[in-house]
Structure 1
Amino acid sequence: MPRLSIAGWFRDDRLRRLFGNAGILLGGKTVNAVAGLAGLAIAARALGLEAFGILILIHTFTQTIGEIAKFQSWQAVLRYGTPALTEGRVSDFQRLLRFTALLDGWSALAGTILSVLVAWALGPYFDWPPELMPAALVYVTSVLFMVQATPTGVLRLIDRFDILSVQSTLGAIIRMVGGGIAWAMGGGIVAFLVAWYIATAWAGIYLIAKGWSELRKRGLLDGYSWRGDGQPVTRGFDGVWSFVWSTNLSATLELAYTHIGTLAVGWMLGPREAALFRIARQLGEALAKPAKLLIPAIYPELARMTAAGEHKEMRALIERSALLAGAGAMLALVVCWLIGEIGLRLIVGEEFVAAYPVMMWLVAAAVVGIWSFPLEPVMVSAGEAHKALMVRAWTTAVYIPVLLAAIHWFGLIGAGWARMFSAVLVLVAFLVPVVRWFRRRLAENEGA
């Protein structure tokens, strides 16, 4: 570690920009977290534990299919778009946008079809009532509005984190307001599904519109044509197909640590336990959210530093940011320990207090994950997305059977124990190759 004071660290322009962009996102995410919790609290109190669990399972299922279907093309926008714009190759940048936008469009369509087919087949196994299936099958088509990777990458590339901040709040606010209206009118699950569908669609359309609007303002769409310039869309972007497949599969594997946990609990223990697990995860993530916002903010910085070959500076950035984020996460853990049970009682009601023990384990796992937040972005930005994928693959292969066994043997608390185990495993699994990569690059720099 460089021997500088904490105050000295913030003389580093990159670290200040990283935390500045994360701070912009924090403004939106704070509102998002409050509105998200309020929306869940409204639904929980209006529907009760059992019906709320069914709503959560339908929503989580839809999110899972959306994440599986979409490519993480925003990472390709950053990885290949950064040098293209830096070098003034606007036509190449437009070709990249055409490629990633087509990926988004086709994956959105495929995801929508897949979501309907899988929901129709598996809905009964999640205890979705037969009379609710038509509404559930309509709701899962909201996958169409969840595939927004290209505009997300564009806005991160041009440092318009303020727009991303606004967009992140829209869905939560509409879900909260719509849920409040549904509750006031005595609506059931179907009314909440309508409100949540509108929230997803509105937020998705807004992001797409703002992303293309910002490109137009900067003249980056001048001469743009969907039919292209006669060149293959991947020309000049060596390894882009391998890159997008690796990042997509890596993100899909990461679902094991988010939505799959809720679905596994619902499948094995029923909607009531799924509701408790989802509430525990939501409250735990809300407390740890400020530090996790550094993840999207660090990608543009790492892309620039990798392109410039600034490996020593990159190592200093990830060390300092990890220490600062980890300290903030530890504070969140203490807050959760002190007021978590009271918060559950006040926010969602007495019957949800049973979620407190598993919530503490989920928050602790999130803290471990925050300490390791820069590691995977380093590997992806360095063009070693395939290695990051391999790490995700084998750690997930270990985690899934541990999760299922823990739920089977220990019930709901077992899901929390399994998540903590996986967090430590992932930390070690990413740390080892990243340390080796830095040693190689720094040795090459010294020998040059």
Structure 2
Amino acid sequence: MSDAAPPDLAPPGTKPVSPLKKVLANAGQLLSGRVVNAVVGLAYIALTYRSLGKEAAGVLVLINAFAQFLGEAAHFQSWQTLITYGAAPLLDDDKRRFQQVLRLSMLLDLISGVLGVILGVLGAWFFWQELRWPEGTNGYGALYALSIGVMTSATGVGLLRLFDRFRFLAAEQAISSFVRMVGCAICAFTHAPLPYFLLAWAAGTFASFAYIAAIAFWDLKRRGLLRGFSLIGPTSQDLPGVWRFALATNFSGTLDVGFTHVLTMIVGAMLGPAQAASWRIGKQVADGMAKPARLMVPALYPELAKMRAAGSQQAMNKLAVQIALIGGAAAGVLLLVSLLAGYWILEKVVGPGYGAAAGVMNWQVAAAAIGVMTLPLEPMLVSMRAAGSALTVRLVVVIAYLAALGPLINTFGLTGAGAALVAAALGMGIGMYFMARRRLARLAAEEDSARTTKDDEGPSYDHAHGV
């Protein structure tokens, strides 16, 4: 198996960059976009709350959260399918096969978008009381659910990641927030009611989708990958295991998204709203502290996929170890900051009286730190088309965690929930490690077997006779 790094897909004339530097540079670009988005996002949220008041703004947040949850839970992780199955034909300049993978990814987006919209419209129309929406807002919620269809431009995101266009990806959320800010400013100036603010928020979602789709289309056309392309044609043909892969990544993503919401609801049901608030606050701070390091993950996927396509197993291992070491250093800093300044951070950022959540937050930060240290493992499995193995680990850990959560909360309260979260993070990391190790060993064995078979066959007839 080759030790070399995979060919670079950057435009001709671009100086080659090491995979590690590329991952860090791309993650840095994403982080810069998140910083801009945070500032602009705060502006439109402030406009919304100041104009509508706490109650009406709360209704908007509930409707948006409902749509976001369905959008994240229903959609396929088609960008992973596109990167994993599209990297090899892109490297080999196999335009027909790449277009087939692109067609499949677009089909997955269409299926998930339609499914999400149907669930959103029906859920808003018939279950608004269970969702605790005020009477008369179900129609607005149903209309807002139409935005679920464009809430995740997964194919466009996958293409830009595969083409190393992270500087364009960095602007995606900022554009959505900017459109929302302008819309909310107009609504605030005209004293518009709730439906118009919902329209402004939905406009941001549509603008983000249109932006990514336009950039992806431009890049495809620039690279000549749209010549001869048709929306009608084969999708999964000669792509063994692709549907199983797509379903596994989708289910794994749904588990990851739903896990946070389920934990908060369980804590609230067992310990009450105040403890649930402490849990949620600590989790948000812990996730926020770990977010910069986690931005390496979307930058890591395309590099690993290219290495896998080029047969560069040792290069994959080297990059994974480098990212793990960087993640380990970041994890140590996160935990140290939480232990030394967690109480102060909560008191200053959230408000007086919230410092008591620092105890459980330390457990949550420790779990996040473990996740940062082990973050290359799942992308490695997915890049090696072993998404089912990653899903198995995640499912086993989630089931075990949920089974232990009730008794631990009854015995130790929030501390028990936090300690269990650390154990779950350890279990996830260990499970992913052994799955990745087994998969790498299997790939090495397959390579050795193929090489031995080729050597045993000896020189071909043409070569032996000088043809």
Q: Which residue of 95, 98, 102 maps to 1:93?
A: 98
Percent pairwise identity: 41
Q: Distance in 2 between matches of 1:47 and 1:312?
A: 57
Which range is displaced more, 150-159 or 403-412? 403-412
Q: Distance in 1 between matches of 2:88 and 2:361?
A: 43
Gap change, CA 1:75 and 1:28, over 3 Å in 2: same
- Contact in 2 for aligned 1:305/1:311 (Cα 8 Å): yes
Name the SS of the counterpart of 2:167 in structure 1.
helix
Gap change, CA 1:107 and 1:353, over 3 Å in 2: same
* Corresponding residue for residue 70 of structure 2: 65
Give deviations 1:399-428, integer Å, cap 9, x for gaps.
Answer: 334456667777777654553332222112
Which range is displaced more, 121-130 or 32-41? 32-41
Rg larger in structure: 2
Amino acid at match of 1:101: M
Gap change, CA 1:75 and 1:127, over 3 Å in 2: same
Q: Which residue of 136, 140, 144 maps to 1:139?
A: 144
- 1:3-402 map, 5 Å: 13-36=18-41, 55-175=60-180, 193-228=198-233, 232-262=234-264, 278-347=280-349, 349-350=351-352, 356-402=358-404
* Corresponding residue for residue 7 of structure 1: none
Gaps of 5+ in 1: 1-10
After TM superposition, give the deviation of residue 186 of structure 1 in Å: 7.3
Give deviations 1:124-164, integer Å, cap 9, x for gaps.
Answer: 33433334433333333321121311111111111101111
Q: Distance in 1 between matches of 2:197 and 2:142?
A: 14
TM-score w.r.t. structure 1 length? 0.83
Q: Distance in 2 between matches of 1:191 and 1:414?
A: 44
Root-mean-square deviation over aligned CA pairs: 3.6
Amino acid at match of 1:102: L
Which range is displaced more, 333-342 or 196-205? 333-342
Amino acid at match of 1:66: G
After TM superposition, give the deviation of residue 309 of structure 1 in Å: 2.2
- Contact in 1 for aligned 2:290/2:334 (Cα 8 Å): yes
* Corresponding residue for residue 6 of structure 1: none
Which range is displaced more, 338-347 or 361-370? 338-347
Amino acid at match of 1:367: A
Q: Distance in 1 between matches of 2:137 and 2:245?
A: 40
* Corresponding residue for residue 459 of structure 2: none
Gap change, CA 1:446 and 1:216, over 3 Å in 2: closer
- Contact in 2 for aligned 1:312/1:442 (Cα 8 Å): no
Which range is displaced more, 19-28 or 349-358? 349-358
* Corresponding residue for residue 5 of structure 1: none
Which range is displaced more, 239-248 or 165-174? 165-174
TM-score w.r.t. structure 2 length? 0.80
Give deviations 1:172-227, integer Å, cap 9, x for gaps.
Answer: 44455656776787778666544432322222222122212211121111222223
Gap change, CA 1:375 and 1:139, over 3 Å in 2: same
Gaps of 5+ in 2: 1-15, 452-467
Amino acid at match of 1:421: A
Q: Distance in 2 between matches of 1:37 and 1:390?
A: 38
Gap change, CA 1:280 and 1:212, over 3 Å in 2: farther
Amino acid at match of 2:27: A
Q: Distance in 2 between matches of 1:310 and 1:292?
A: 24
After TM superposition, give the deviation of residue 112 of structure 1 in Å: 0.7
Q: Distance in 2 between matches of 1:443 and 1:70?
A: 35
Q: What is the aligned residue count?
A: 435
Gap change, CA 1:187 and 1:237, over 3 Å in 2: same
